[in-house]
Amino acid sequence: MISDWSVARFGARFGRMGRSAFRSSAPVTYGLIALCCLLFLMGPAAGLNPAYGTGDGLLAAQRAYFHRWGVVPAELFEGSPRAALTPATALFVHGSWVHLLGNMLFLYVFGVMTEERMGRVQFTLFYLGCGYLALLGYAAANDDSTQSLVGASGAISAVLGAFLFVFPGARVTSLLPFLLFLPLRFPAWVVLPFWVALQWVAAGRADQGPGVAYLAHLVGFGLGFGYAWARFRPATRVKAAPAPASEGENQP
């Protein structure tokens, strides 16, 4: 049994972590990671909440949970206000431990510097807006699908796109399976276009593999890169004409 003292100690430690994250240079990124992890642990996908049962009961609870909070393309464009909100709620729902940890790792690696560059408010609106549109784009291309779509991949892909434009030379540690997963550091302009190419190939074979929304990744990445280009590209400088010479400087 967990004692009240242990609960209080955990709460105090969690509170200190939260205050430290808020004082950091990227509180929104850390807050998104914490929120996604907390919701996952509380939901049925983690398998830790006894309220959802076990076995077939747990599987049924998971399907109902994903259907309620995830995007169902066939229902999205029927005009239901609840369905119209699901591209936003789906950003905070994940289907498995691997799904959650993979997304949060990418968000941590690329989100901190991107948020520092954009600022808290702009990054929050950027993340939510691009994530919503990425899932909306996937749903529009698969409007007859009844499969629930969940996860922050579209929003995180937008962060990757913005990161590529703003920090193309930043070194990113990568694990390549054909090199025995040795950690190697490459500039972002090498790693991220390679990642996009993989998503493009996988999107073309989406019907042959697991239910991963590769198209949402591509839409999110394009939105993120396009936003960063429009927001952070060098301002066009108009070359000023030389000022006319004063009367005393004019040659006869």
Query: Nearest CA to 68 among 97, 93, 41?
Result: 93
Query: Nearest CA to 148 among 92, 86, 219, 96?
Result: 86
Residue 210 is encoded by which pair of tokens? 């697991």
Q: Are 130 and 55 in contact (CB under 8 A)?
A: no
User: Per-residue pLDDT for 55 more than 80?
Assistant: yes
Burial of 161-177, coded b for 16+ CB within 10 Å and e otherwise, reads bbbbbbbeebebebeee
Q: What is the mean pLDDT of residues 13-23?
A: 47
> Residues for the chain: how many in total?
252
Whose structure tokens read 């198209």? 215
**Least confident window among 45-49, 138-142, 234-238:** 234-238
Q: Where are the domains of the chain?
A: 12-230
CATH class held by domain 12-230: mainly alpha
Q: Calculate the average pLDDT of the chain.
A: 80
Q: Are 113 and 49 in contact (CB under 8 A)?
A: no
Whole-prediction pTM value? 0.78
φ/ψ (deg, to 5) at 176? -105, 120
